[in-house]
Amino acid sequence: MDELTDDRIVPGTSLHATAISVGTSFLGDPPHPDGTPAEDADALARAMFAGPFAVIDTSNNYAQGRSETVLGTAVRREGLPAGKAIVTKVDADPDTGALDRDRVWRSFEESVTRLGLDHLPLLHLHDPYTIEVEEAFAPGGAVQGLTELREQGLVGALGIAAGPVSLMRRYALSGAFDVLLTHNRYTIVDRRGEELIDLAADRGMGVFNAAPFGGGLLAGTSESYAYAQAGPELLAWVERARQLCRRWELPLRAVALHHSLRHPGIASTVVGVGRPERLAQLRQLQNTTIPEAFWPELAALGTPPSTLED
């Protein structure tokens, strides 16, 4: 494994991270016809274990549990390498949408069983869209389950991981969480997540910023931003940004990544990786130098017309 030269402690936790964390929502897809993970998923897990990025981010529901299963197979075979951590998330019941205290415990138990771990340094409440915030904090609610896991020493720190800024703000202000993970809300085409980053800093919370490429648009792999087709105005803005990057001889995807990396309030930027070679490419993007004089020219393009409303 390459030396982890950018090691830091995530605020609000004892978790060591690097500037980039690896997302695994693709890990385990597509599966074999019988639903078991394909062999290339194991190769990707091996590459993640051998690569330079310290935190591997997964979730109970990624690839219907196969993401955790693949990582757990690697853990049982090799052990979790020194300097690596696996972080996961509790999810609503896939059939009923339940996300109460009991579901949190079941989700945790499913995850640690798949992963082959008995302790998690950080556990997120993930996309709590099937419940109202008041339900999450009520007796017998999701927050009670998370708090019990931390009090019993099964979890080191608690996080909230979701999209809408208004929802994230309510959870962050509760004082129940140590970390927040925001996605698609702090990129070069949508800056609304900055208020969450500032809020976290004021409260001593750590921040993971996920999806700096917006799910494909800024990586040049699709015209989709935050799971939706980008409109013509947004596509036109991105094309202007791409032309600016050409004048500076910079890849747009490197600019998109460094936009997140350079924010002092972001502990780590989570980037989803679907193939082993993407890890080396990601490291190359991280090592790309973006001159300071470039950023005012990017800002001069004006406010991008994001597809998101919250």
DSSP string, 207-253: EEEE-TTTTTTTTTS-SEETTEEPPHHHHHHHHHHHHHHHHHT--HH
| CA of residue 183 relative to chain centroid, distance | 7
Instruction: Count Cα neighbours of 301 within 13 Å in the Cβ-side half-sphere.
Output: 20
Answering whether pTM is above 0.85, one says: yes
In the chain, what's the furthest Cα-to-Cα distance? 57
pLDDT digit string (tens) for the chain, length 310 residues: 333 458 999 999 999 999 999 999 989 988 888 888 888 999 999 999 999 999 999 999 999 999 999 999 999 998 999 999 999 999 999 999 999 999 999 999 999 999 999 999 999 999 999 999 999 999 999 999 999 999 999 999 999 999 999 999 999 999 999 999 999 999 999 999 999 999 999 999 999 999 999 988 999 888 999 888 999 999 999 999 999 999 999 999 999 999 999 999 999 999 999 999 999 999 999 999 999 999 999 999 999 988 888 8
Residue 61 backbone dihedrals phi, psi, to 5 degrees: -100, 0
Domains and CATH numbers, the chain: 8-299 (3.20.20.100)
Question: What percent helix, strand, coil does the chain show, rounded to 5?
Answer: 40, 20, 45
CA distances from 270 to 58, 84, 207, 245 (A): 10, 15, 10, 23
